[in-house]
Amino acid sequence: MSTLRGALSLIDTDELVALTRDLVRIPSVVRPGDPTATEAAVASHVEGWMRSQGLDVEVQQVAPGRPNVLGAIGEAAAGPTLLLEGHTDVVTEGDPSAWTHPPFAAELVDGKIYGRGAADMKSGLAAAMIAAAAIKRSGAPLAGRLVVGALVDEEGDMIGAKHLCATPIGRARHPATTRGSRRASSPQVCGSRRRGCG
């Protein structure tokens, strides 16, 4: 079995759905003026989950109650660092009574998860976390390091990304993003270094 197939075989879709729902259930709407309305609770959950999977975890305090959480596997000295980045903040839920399903209940209905942040982007963050854990579980050797970054403040001033880019782990990364294509039937992988970030 190839290394890739070995890692893919260890991805449990039920685990992915459960992790996504757990993240959605933790409100992380940043409300200026309310020191309790930050990404802290969801970041703590991400940190605990990453540690339970044996990832090397680094927590970066970007601002009070607003930590970046990074989980890594592999060795930086062995080759490039690939960063899979997601964010922990979500936009406001607005009027909860206007929702068909409660915004932080993460209800699973007909194979769909309903809740604030389910698509943007707690499901994507959960997918990156599960992928890293599957590679770790497979024991596959890496020719470098894989880092999953759960960053704060994507919906605001990007202070999490700016902070990360100023750190050694941020400067060492080779980011990859996926994007859909009108012509392609599957996502395309795009590697780039954003201006002002390295």
Which domain CATH number covers 102?
3.40.630.10
The domain containing residue 68 runs over which residues?
A: 3-191
In a domain? residue 65: yes
The answer as to whether 154 is a domain residue is yes
What's 95's DSSP letter? Answer: -
Predicted local distance difference test score (pLDDT) of residue 67: 98
Structural domain contains residue 131: yes
Look at residue 197 and tell me if it is in a domain.
no
Residue 86: φ, ψ to 5°: -135, 175
Across-strand partners of 86?
150
| Spatial CA neighbour of 7 closest among 178, 133, 124, 125 | 133
Q: In this predicted structure, what is the pLDDT of residue 15? A: 97
Query: Which residue in the list 47, 89, 153, 155 is annotated as catalytic?
Result: 89
Long-range Cβ contact pairs of 99-102 (< 8 A, separation 24 or more)? none
In a domain, 59, yes or no: yes
| Residue 97, pLDDT score | 95
Q: 112-114 and 145-151 as β-strands: parallel, antiparallel, unpaired?
A: unpaired
pLDDT of residue 169: 85
Q: What pLDDT score was predicted for residue 173? A: 72
List the 145-151 sheet strands across, edge first: 56-63, 66-74, 145-151, 81-87, 173-179, 188-191
Considering its fold, how many domains does the chain have in total?
A: 1
pLDDT, mean over the chain: 88
For residue 183, what pLDDT is reported? 43
For 188, the enclosing helix (H) or strand (E) is strand 188-191
140 lies in some domain:
yes
Identify whether 157 is a catalytic site residue. Answer: no
Residues in the chain predicted with pLDDT less than 70, given as ranges, are 1-2, 174-198
Q: Could you confirm whether 154 is annotated as catalytic?
A: yes
Taking the alpha carbons of 16, 74, 53, 150 in that order, is the dihedral positive or negative? negative
Predicted local distance difference test score (pLDDT) of residue 175: 59
In a domain, 177, yes or no: yes
Phi, psi at 63, each rounded to 5°: -155, 165
pLDDT at 180: 42
What residues have CB less than 8 Å from 65, skipping those under 6 apart? 35, 36, 38, 39, 40
Q: Which positions ≥6 away from 185 have C-beta within 8 Å?
A: none
